Chains A and B, each alone.
Chain A
Amino acid sequence: MFKKVLIANRGEIAIRVTRTLRELGITSVAVYSDADRNGLHVMLADEAYHIGPPPSKESYLNIDKILEVAKKAGADAIHPGYGFLSESPEFARAVKAAGLTFIGPTVENILAMGDKLASRDLMKKAGVPCVPGTDGAVPDAESAIQEAKRIGYPVILKASAGGGGKGIRVVHDEKELPGSFRMCQSEGLNYFKDDRVFIERFIQNPKHIEVQVFGDTHGNVCHLYERECSMQRRHQKLIEESPSVSVPPDVREKLGAVAVQAAKSIQYVGAGTIEFIFDNKTKEFFFMEMNTRLQVEHPVTEFVTGYDLVKEQIMVAAGKPLSFKQSDVKQKGHAIELRICAEDPVNFTPNPGKIRKYRMPAGPFVRLDNCAYPGYEVPIYYDPMIAKLIVWGSTREECIQRLQRALAEYMLTGIKSNIVLHKNILVHPAFLEGNYTTQFIDQQIAGKKHRELFMFVDDDIFLISAAIEAYNNAKSRDVGDYNLASKWKRYGRLKSMRNL
């Protein structure tokens, strides 16, 4: 077993991994950029090393520096978390070449699934259903127009190496196409050094359903059932739950079987997720992509199955077989995760800055994977997600009630957050019934005024509190008794008011 593991990541996921490492008696090594010296992940790890300036390219994406630090620390394995280098074949290869273990899939696995076009071909061959689209990358806007015409609008443009909401654009008509194509290429080039773009049918009223899979080095592959991640904004997930109320039992079995079949076809090792686009009317599902890493939303699967996925990752990386067989895996109760982000609750623009007050929810069946604290400055350089609130209930209804309760306990001030957006979603009939789609936010929330979202507060509170504070400030600046000093002025004003 490993003695010391370096976590090549930051924020809540670095803390998540640190926790399991500590439980296993493995020394944890954190890394941090200049912007993260005050990060909670640094404080909670056993050891911490500086790896460079704030921009990710010079720190969390700097392979040489991370390996240098890993050697210096004497680590024998590296956990990449999600994002950053987690799906970089160069990194996985370099870790191996340095004589360390990469806690994740094989280089071949990452390569096979890293390219969206190639992975789709691979899945087609393995008998996994795929969405209609272009067979290869589209060279220019002109041919994009031709292809889109053939596939039928609306279409979705995807940067071949894209992910995490980057390099994805939905296009509704030909007029929008050239501009979106250009942006898609630019994002692909900037984030993934790859400007190839392909086009697919954009399925209307779609749901995002994904299946957690796990493989080991002994040829075992299991699935841990589905997660529904249809609640999204800017093509990024906001709420995830397991099980999905839209998936009937027979489709659930089929989803699991197809996912295992897909993972087996590439001899998959470690934690992975196969994402499907799910047509809620026909209950058809199509392969979208496979994420060859631990997902942000893995805790909902941990809650309903009872397995520690990070622990399983570490064991598999150490060459041990999976701790469970397929027949052991049961979905028990219901779990939902809310992503808490430092962003405007209506227009979703990031709102980095200093957190003032911070009170975290707790209590039965509540888990908060968090990296914030009072006085913490959310850096501008990274993803605005500061915490994940995950709750378990014996039924979906109980789970939602518990989430509402937990959100009522959650206090975060000083910056804008989407906590209030979650409160609104949790009482929305479409969410309660479970028949929401990936377009829910666009259709139900976008265009709302902030005040509509703030329905949980008596509007008087704001001005009364601001007035009392302004009064106290003025009083503290003034030498004399303000009520007394302005007595004549006040008298005059009151008098004129009475005359009104």
Chain B
Amino acid sequence: MFFEAESEGLHYQVSVSESKTHWRVGTREGDKDWVYRDIRKEDYRYLDETISFLYKDTSYLIDVLNKGTEYTVYTRGAYRTFKVYNEEALLHESLKQGGGVGAGNNLSSGMPGKIVKIFVKVGDKLKAGDPILIMEAMKMENEMRAVGDVTVKEILVKAGENVESGAELVTFTKA
């Protein structure tokens, strides 16, 4: 089975095949050579708690979190997220979710939090670096600033309001 994979700006091709006793995992980063590894199923075991993966005689406990085509692998305090997909996986996801998400050049919250103070009003012309608002997330106050020169179109939140992760806070038009 073939997949494409992406992580941190790198692109990979991946092939996985299976025999009774092994997985054969081929990976190819960019246009480098393919590298094949035979992983004994014996060495990649699902325990109740986690996956025990013996790789090159080193013992890793790993956990893989899968959301749609995203796979986050955790081990030894390290983690890495890959988008792993092929036509079949993408089709499956699009059927499950419907359309994609449109992202404009608007200010949205990176995490759930609370709006503490808003410095701008509709119609304000901002320069890059101008403060827009202060948002509090997990006890820390963060000043959000304009990244480019913009005009404030709408303000979708009020001071004191709690916002969800990804919520649009302020929309702009180009100055």
Contacts and interface: CB of A to CB of B under 8 A. Distances in A.
A190 interface: yes
Given A350-B137, A463-B82, A477-B92, A471 B23 contact: yes
Given A417-B77, A466-B64, A471 B140 contact: no
A368 to B, nearest CB: 15
A350 to B, nearest CB: 4
Contacts of B65: 356, 413-414
A357 B48 CA distance: 10
Given A190-B116, A359-B49, A384-B138, A467 B80 contact: no
B84 A464 contact: no
Contacts of A450: 78, 80
A413 B138 contact: no
Residue of B27, B34, B76, B112 contacting most chain A CB atoms (<10 Å):
B76
B78 A453 contact: yes
Interface stretch (B54-62, B120-128, B148-156): B54-62
Interface residues of B, number: 66
Given A413-B74, A414-B63, A462-B73, A186 B134 contact: yes
B124 to A, nearest CB: 17
Given A356-B63, A414-B74, A468-B16, 12 more contacts: A190-B136, A380-B112, A383-B139, A457-B78, A462-B80, A464-B39, A468-B39, A470-B66, A473-B66, A477-B92, A478-B88, A497-B34
Contacts of A187: 141
Given A453-B78, A457-B60, A467 B116 contact: no
A234 interface: yes
A238 to B, nearest CB: 15
A349 B111 contact: yes
Contacts of A466: 5, 64, 71, 73, 82, 84
B58 A350 contact: no
Interface in A423-463: 423, 450-451, 453-454, 456-458, 460-463
Interface string B7-43: 1100010111110000101010000001001010000
A372 to B, nearest CB: 15
Contact of B60 (A420, A453, A461, A463): A461
B111 A419 contact: no
A474 interface: yes
A474 B89 CA distance: 7
9 contacts: A186-B141, A350-B138, A357-B74, A454-B80, A461-B60, A465-B44, A470-B3, A473-B89, A493-B2
Contacts of B49: 357, 359
Contacts of A451: 8
Nearest to B17: A483
A482 interface: yes
A413 B63 contact: yes
Contacts of B80: 450, 454, 462
Contact of A456 (B76, B110, B113, B114): B76
Contacts of A474: 1, 86, 88-89
Nearest to A348: B140
Contacts of B53: 461, 465
B146 interface: no
B5 to A, nearest CB: 6
Interface of B: 1-3, 5, 7-8, 12, 14-18, 23, 25, 27, 34, 37, 39, 44, 49-51, 53, 55-56, 58, 60-66, 69, 71, 73-80, 82, 84-86, 88-89, 92, 110-114, 116-117, 131, 134, 136-141, 143
Contact of A464 (B25, B69, B77): B25
B1 A486 contact: yes
Interface in A39-60: 55
A256 interface: no
Contact of B18 (A464, A483, A489): A483
Contacts of B39: 464, 468
Nearest to B86: A474
A410 to B, nearest CB: 7
A416 B79 contact: yes
A234 B140 contact: yes
B79 to A, nearest CB: 7
Contacts of A318: none
Contacts of B34: 497
Nearest to A83: B139
A474 B77 CA distance: 28
Contact of A420 (B37, B58, B76, B138): B76
A422 B139 CA distance: 22
A357 B49 CA distance: 7
Contacts of A468: 16, 23, 25, 39, 44
A195 to B, nearest CB: 13
Given A359-B49, A414-B65, A486-B1, A463 B14 contact: yes
